[in-house]
Amino acid sequence: MVPFLQNANYLRELYLDKNHIRSEGFNLLFRALRDSPIKMLSCDRCGIESIEIDRDHIPRHLMHLYLSNNNIETNGCRGIAELLQGGDATLRCLHLYDNKI
């Protein structure tokens, strides 16, 4: 899936709700989307517990991120903090309800 996403030049929205990609899958997915035109990513109920991303791997055009109904705890939010503190961040909407934050 990663090679497909890296070459999907017209993909603007991606819904992966209720897939069991877990934290590892989400982190790989996020890195793969770095240079894509994706503006909306929904990963509700995917079993995500932590988000670990570097500032260099944040999707450049991402505006909406839905991570509700996962198992993200306070310690698992470091990647989210990176998203919100990035100098060139484009994120406008972040859904985190029903996590363990």
Q: What tens-digit pLDDT sequence spans the chain (101 residues)?
A: 777 877 778 899 999 999 999 999 999 998 888 888 999 999 999 999 988 877 777 788 899 999 999 999 888 877 777 777 766 768 889 999 999 98
Full-model pTM = 0.88
Integer CA distances (angstroms), 85 to 50, 55, 80, 82, in order: 17, 9, 9, 5
